[in-house]
Structure 1
Amino acid sequence: MICRILLLIILTSCVSGSFVVNDPVTQTSYQAEENHNITLEWTFTTKPHRTTKTLNILCELITEHKVSVLYHVHEGVEVSESQDEKFSGRVQSDKDALREGRIRLQLSRLRTDDSGLYLCEVNTDYGFSVGRCRLNVTAFSDQLQPQRPTTNSTAENEGMIGFYILMGVSAALLAVFVILLFYFRNKARTQNSVAEVQMLSFL
Structure 2
Amino acid sequence: MPFKKLHPDIQEKLESLEIITPTSFQRKSIPVIKSGANVFCTASKGSGKTTTLILTTLQKLKCEVVGNAPRAIILVENKDRALELYDAFSSFAKYNSLRVYASHEHLHIDMQRSEIFVGVDILISTPKTLNKLFLLNGVNTSQLMMFSIDDAEFLVQQSAYAALMSISESVKKCQYVLYSEKMNPKLKRFESYFMEHSRIITA
- TM-score normalised by length of structure 1: 0.26
Higher RCO (CA 8 Å, separation ≥ 6 residues): 2
If each structure's helix is expressed as a fraction of its own residues, which one has the higher value?
A: 2
